[in-house]
């Protein structure tokens, strides 16, 4: 693994677009810190002029805080070992906590206003930038507490986020990455190279990597379990404090999502599990295995069909695959490549995985990669740039108050990109082996994003449900829950090795409770949208860009309807499952 100083400048994101130096950051921090007093508005939000002024000041500060926070976040993730950037993150936490405390009066004060007055504000043209926010206040009225209680809870924001921060440090800065032998040479695993090794044809290497990687987590299981249990306990506390029926209902209410969507997802996936089992039976036969283990689940069953290209070629492939989205979209992709949006290389101490981050006040989105020459990382480029383009269009089209889209729709644009790229590759592939591989990859994408993320969602649902009943969570019963689910989802064709019971312990998204199911609803929506665009259906592209530009201007379920997807019905879920079944049929025919 290389050091950051050895990475070419064109492969690094440009944090200097935010602040030229840490000294500039510190000066801006001091300026923002001097503006945090909102006492002039307290007790006066029933007056429309005062409310408008308060909301505007809040938004203006948010823009400045976004720049400060994202700079600290990016610098920290460049090297999680660097204490000075960890200190910047802590300073941002303190600043945001102070602002949160100073504005804690707003929600209970607005909630206390008569419904008639709130509706009058919503109907007032001067409040058009804030109408959806005010509608949300009406919706949350039963769950907002007294001014004093809200002020106390706001001071707990940093404490409530501690489990996530602790896990991040365990999983990155302090994780004891093991060494395994591959190609006759010892190689130290990273989170990125572990995934790569599971795709190697040498089964002994896959098994050794699997065992060594999970043994490292087993060695930390009591610490990680205590961290995750603290996260669940926090969720239960906040759910009860705010008088919700369950942690799930609190999570869905926060995003204005109908619980019917969650039920539709679970029902559709449970009904489709026989298709997943059928897929693994085919893979097992193709791999020539008498017994298929978890470390065999990611290797390609088609020999020499992996797309192994360097980053520049991977980017060219992605750009061509996304051509159906239009010329301007392609120009923006190139701008991202050329102008410091993307941090490409895996380096010592760098945060693992991939993400895109942006907010009003930033010059452009930022994308973190840890690129490895494999097909999944080619798709990761398309995926993260989908996030970036969604942010770009929403922030360009919407006012600050409505620019940020909900997490619920955050994975839609990214997954549309993946589906379009896959369809492009399938359409241009003439070699049977490559077509086999791409169909397998598409099936794996649906398996990983639809089935696997629903498995994760079901795990955290069961863990929270258990805690809500007052039953203690332990490392043992968390592993039991996960192993039982794994057996149900993978079926009899795959051996659920004992070590896989610990897989839950390495999933960072569990520290953002009830986040992962959105990957599954995202791909469900994306398959429907991509099919319309790829087929050239009239109006499909225009519908999609209306969705991309809609930000958080309405309920995410309603915004998806702009692109022709209604998740309160079973239709979209059934279409996605039929897409899986059709790809499986083609895959079986090629391998008959």
Q: Catalytic positions, please?
A: 384
Q: How far apart are CA 479 and CA 484, in angstroms?
A: 9
- 10 Å Cβ neighbour count for 201? 12
d(Cα 565, Cα 585) in Å, to the nearest integer? Answer: 25
Residue that is written with structure tokens 């400045």 in the block: 64
Exposed / middle / buried, residue 476 (Cβ in 10 Å: 0-12, 13-18, 19+): exposed
> Strand pairing of 355-357 and 366-368?
antiparallel
Longest CA pairwise span in the chain (Å): 75
Which positions ≥6 away from 393 have C-beta within 8 Å?
545, 548, 549
For every residue of 378-424, which 3-state class applies, written as one string? HHHHHHHHHHHHHHHHHHHHCCHHHHCCCHHHCCHHHHHHHHHHHHH
Distance of alpha carbon 554 from alpha carbon 21, whole angstroms: 38
Distance CA 232, CA 141 (A): 25
Under 8 Å between Cβ of 478 and 277:
no
- Chain position carrying tokens 């043209």: 125
Would you state the torsion angle of the CA atoms of residues 586, 587, 589, 590, taken in this order, to the nearest 10 degrees? Answer: 120
- Here the tokens at position 272 are 């489709």
Q: What angle do CA 521, 236, 556 make, to 5 degrees?
A: 25
Q: Rounded to 5 degrees, what are φ and ψ at 356?
A: -125, 140
The first and second tokens of residue 354, run together, are: 């991939």
Dihedral of the alpha carbons of 111, 113, 119, 120, in degrees to the nearest 10: -140
Task: Centre a 10 Å sphere on the Cβ of residue 321 and count the other Cβ atoms it contains.
Answer: 23
Count CB atoms within 10 A of the CB of residue 263. Answer: 10
Q: Tell me the C-alpha distance between 154 and 149, whole Å.
A: 9
Of 389, 398, 435, 440, nearest in space to 416 by CA: 389
Exposure pattern of 491-504 as b/e (b: 16+ CB <10 Å)?
Answer: bebbebbebbbbbb
Q: Cβ distance 178 to 188 under 8 Å?
A: yes
If DSSP states are collapsed to H, E and C, what string results for 485-497? HHHHHHCCCEECC
């Amino acid at each position: 693994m290389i050091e950051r100083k050895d990475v070419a400048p064109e492969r690094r994101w440009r944090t200097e677009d935010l602040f030229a130096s840490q000294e500039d950051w510190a000066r801006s921090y001091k300026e923002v810190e001097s503006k945090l007093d909102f006492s002039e508005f307290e007790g006066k939000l029933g007056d429309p002029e005062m409310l408008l002024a308060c909301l505007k000041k809040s938004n203006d500060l948010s823009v400045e805080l976004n720049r400060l926070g994202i700079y600290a976040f990016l610098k920290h993730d460049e090297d999680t070992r660097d204490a000075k950037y960890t200190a910047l993150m802590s300073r941002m936490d303190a600043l945001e906590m102070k602002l949160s405390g100073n504005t804690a009066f707003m929600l209970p004060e607005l909630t206390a206003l008569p419904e008639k007055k709130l509706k009058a504000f919503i109907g007032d043209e001067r409040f058009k930038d804030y109408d959806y926010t005010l509608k949300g206040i009406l919706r949350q009225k039963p769950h907002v507490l007294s001014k004093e209680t809200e002020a106390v809870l706001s001071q707990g924001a940093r404490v409530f986020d501690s489990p996530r921060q602790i896990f991040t440090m365990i999983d990155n800065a302090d994780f004891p990455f093991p060494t395994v032998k591959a190609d006759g040479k010892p190689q130290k695993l990273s989170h990125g190279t572990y995934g790569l090794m599971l795709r190697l044809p040498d089964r002994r290497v896959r098994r050794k990597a699997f065992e060594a990687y999970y043994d490292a987590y087993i060695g930390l299981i009591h610490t990680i379990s205590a961290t995750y249990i603290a996260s669940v306990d926090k969720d239960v506390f906040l759910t009860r404090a705010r008088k919700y029926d369950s942690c799930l209902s609190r999570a869905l209410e926060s995003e204005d999502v109908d619980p019917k969507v969650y039920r539709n997802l679970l029902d559709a996936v449970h009904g489709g599990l026989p298709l997943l089992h059928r897929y693994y039976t085919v893979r097992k036969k193709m791999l020539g295995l008498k017994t298929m283990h978890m470390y065999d689940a990611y290797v390609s069953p088609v020999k020499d069909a992996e797309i192994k290209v360097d980053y520049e070629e991977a980017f060219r492939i992605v750009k061509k695959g996304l051509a159906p989205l239009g010329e301007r979209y392609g120009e923006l992709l190139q701008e991202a490549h050329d102008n410091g949006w993307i941090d490409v290389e895996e380096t010592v101490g760098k945060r693992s995985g991939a993400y895109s981050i942006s907010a009003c006040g930033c010059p452009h989105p930022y994308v973190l990669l840890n690129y490895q020459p494999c097909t999944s990382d080619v798709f990761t480029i398309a995926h993260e740039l989908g996030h970036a383009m969604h942010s770009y269009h929403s922030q360009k089209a919407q006012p600050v108050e409505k620019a940020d889209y909900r997490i619920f729709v955050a994975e839609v644009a990214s997954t549309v990109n993946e589906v379009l790229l896959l369809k492009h590759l399938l359409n241009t592939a003439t070699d049977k082996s490559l077509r086999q591989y791409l169909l397998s990859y598409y099936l794996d994408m649906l398996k990983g994003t639809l089935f696997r993320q629903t498995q994760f969602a079901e795990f955290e649902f069961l863990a929270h449900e258990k805690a809500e009943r007052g039953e203690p969570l332990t490392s043992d019963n968390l592993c039991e829950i996960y192993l039982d689910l794994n057996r149900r989802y993978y079926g009899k064709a795959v051996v659920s090795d004992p070590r896989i019971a610990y897989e839950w312990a390495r999933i960072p998204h569990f520290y953002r409770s009830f986040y992962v199911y959105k990957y599954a609803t995202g791909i469900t929506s994306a398959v429907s949208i991509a099919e319309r665009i790829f087929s050239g259906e009239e109006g499909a592209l225009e519908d999609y860009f209306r969705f991309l530009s809609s930000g958080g201007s309405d309920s995410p379920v309603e915004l998806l309807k702009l692109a022709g997807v209604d998740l309160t019905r079973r239709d979209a879920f059934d279409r996605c499952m039929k897409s899986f079944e059709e790809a499986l049929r083609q895959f079986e025919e090629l391998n008959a």
